[in-house]
Amino acid sequence: MATLSDFEQGQSFSVEAGGQTLTMELSAVQPIANSPRDGGGFTLLFRGPRDAALPQAIYRFNGKSGAHEIFIVPIAADEAGRLYEAVFN
């Protein structure tokens, strides 16, 4: 089970999607107050490339803390890339 300590802001992950490998940067890590989740809840905000849009789904994120299966939801796009959120509550 993923915990808050598995993730550090600025960390990079490789994500395989649709036959390609994308690099996603962890832009923000926020604890969720009063979460009933064992170990506490948290949200992750990832920034991916602008030219590759991922639909909401579970993806395998490979990083220095190991591999994690994470459900992400696209939430925004700007000139710097696309933003995705994951919630562990």
pLDDT-above-90 percentage for the chain? 79
The pLDDT tens digits for 31-70 are 998 898 988 899 999 999 999 999 999 999 999 889 999 9
- Distance (Å, whole) CA 1 – CA 65: 12
Torsion of CA 53, 59, 61, 67, to 10 degrees: -170
Is this model's pTM higher than 0.85 or not? Answer: yes
Judge whether residue 84 has pLDDT over 90.
Answer: yes
Please tell me the distance from the alpha carbon of residue 51 to that of residue 61, in angstroms, as a whole number. Answer: 19
What are the strands, taking DSSP E only, across 1-89? Answer: 12-17, 20-32, 41-48, 57-63, 66-78, 81-88
